[in-house]
Amino acid sequence: MEQRNLGLQHVPVIGIGCNNFGTRLDAAQSAAVVAAGIETGAVFFDTADVYGAGASEEFLGAALGTQRDRVFIATKFGIPFGDQTGGAHPDYVRFACEASLRRLGTDVIDLYQLHAPDHAVPLAETLGAMDELVTAGLVRQIGCSNFTAHELRDADHLAKGAHFVSVQNQYSLLWREPEVSLFAALEETGACLLPYYPLANGLLTGKYHRCAPIPEGTRLALMGEERAAHWLSEGLFETVEAIRSISEETGYSMLTLAFSWLLSHEPVTCVIAGASSPEQVRTNAGAVQKLEPALLERLNELTLPEALP
């Protein structure tokens, strides 16, 4: 699989989001997904302490066993769960990291990410605590998630040691807001983008159809009605149907169009895609193609946000 630079490290262009581990998937099912990731080269595993209230990290660590050195582990902290307070206070940063290391069964985390800004704590203090983790050898690099351009620029200015090398935000053919608000800051700071929801909660897989029931067990079926209503809106479905037409015309799957379009943008290093089965991992891993410039332009024009020229 193609590799790209993430700070000082190299990662595959397709990663596996582990939010299903410990929620929709048990330990054995999670292990099967991990094995498929190693088999296909999709060895960027992105998890968080809040996923499954710690179970995701535990299942990932157990599944890796002696194969830890073959993979790239990214995890996140900061969102409260169970009896954990969350946040980004320096004391909690160290505590959360050590807890994640125990659950993962490893002595180092490749990418440690602040899951969301904590406006109650000075960002410089959080960055200082995360830099201490890097200095101590517990973390190789640091990143953030759900940061605005302003927050990313502030972090880059305030960092005295380790800088955020990545930002994990929502980005897809159906959500192009980062192009408006974030891309310039990524270029200025040198950070890369790790898109989550690359398939727009499954809409870009092709399994949802207008006026048809939502397939059981899918992400949208398990989502609250208010959130699901947004993703099932008439406007989004019109765009999805147009992308489906392009898929049928060109012979590229909707999955290939979605992933390959994302990876055609320079700030994108790795696309984080959730998986609930080994088959899904294999499909995701094989989906990336180099799309023709004319096709990329058609997709751009079809999904162009109003705020973009």
Whole-model pTM: value is 0.91
Residue 221 scores a pLDDT above 70: no
Does the residue 307 lie in any domain? no
Does the residue 101 lie in any domain? yes
Residue 196 scores a pLDDT above 50: yes
The count of domains in the chain is 1
Rounded average pLDDT over 212-231: 58
Q: What tokens were used for 271? A: 């696309």
Q: What tokens were used for 93? A: 């940063």
Does the residue 308 lie in any domain? no
Mean pLDDT of the residues in the chain: 92
Rounded average pLDDT over 19-39: 97
List the catalytic residue out of 51, 112, 171, 197: 51
Rounded average pLDDT over 148-157: 97
Q: What angle do CA 201, 206, 211 make, to 5 degrees?
A: 90
CATH of residue 196: 3.20.20.100
- Nearest-angstrom CA–CA distance, 167 and 124: 17
Residue 178 φ then ψ, to 5°: -55, -30
Q: What is the pLDDT of residue 97?
A: 98
Rounded average pLDDT over 281-298: 96
Q: What is the pLDDT of residue 138?
A: 98
- Nearest-angstrom CA–CA distance, 270 and 3: 9
Rounded average pLDDT over 123-128: 98
Percent of the chain with pLDDT over 90: 82
Rounded average pLDDT over 20-36: 97
Residue 218 scores a pLDDT above 80: no
Give yes or no for a contact between 258 and 198, defined as CB atoms under 8 angstroms apart.
yes
Does the residue 215 lie in any domain? yes
Q: Band the pLDDT of 5: cuts 50, 70, 90.
A: very high
Residue 300 scores a pLDDT above 90: yes
Q: What does the radius of gyration of the chain's CA atoms come to, in whole angstroms?
A: 19
Min mean pLDDT across 20-24, 79-83, 282-286 is at 79-83
51 is catalytic: yes
Q: What single-letter amino acid sits at 88?
A: A
Find, among 239, 220, 227, the residue nearest to 299 by Cα: 239
Does the residue 148 lie in any domain? yes
Q: What is the pLDDT of residue 309?
A: 46
Rounded average pLDDT over 97-108: 98
Give yes or no for a contact between 265 and 192, defined as CB atoms under 8 angstroms apart.
no
Task: Name the residue range of residue 63's domain.
Answer: 3-302
Rounded average pLDDT over 137-153: 97
Does the residue 167 lie in any domain? yes
Give yes or no for a contact between 174 and 302, defined as CB atoms under 8 angstroms apart.
no
Does the residue 266 lie in any domain? yes
Does the residue 114 lie in any domain? yes
Q: What tokens were used for 119? A: 């406006």
Give yes or no for a contact between 26 and 33, defined as CB atoms under 8 angstroms apart.
no
Q: What is the pLDDT of residue 250?
A: 96
Residue 184 scores a pLDDT above 90: yes
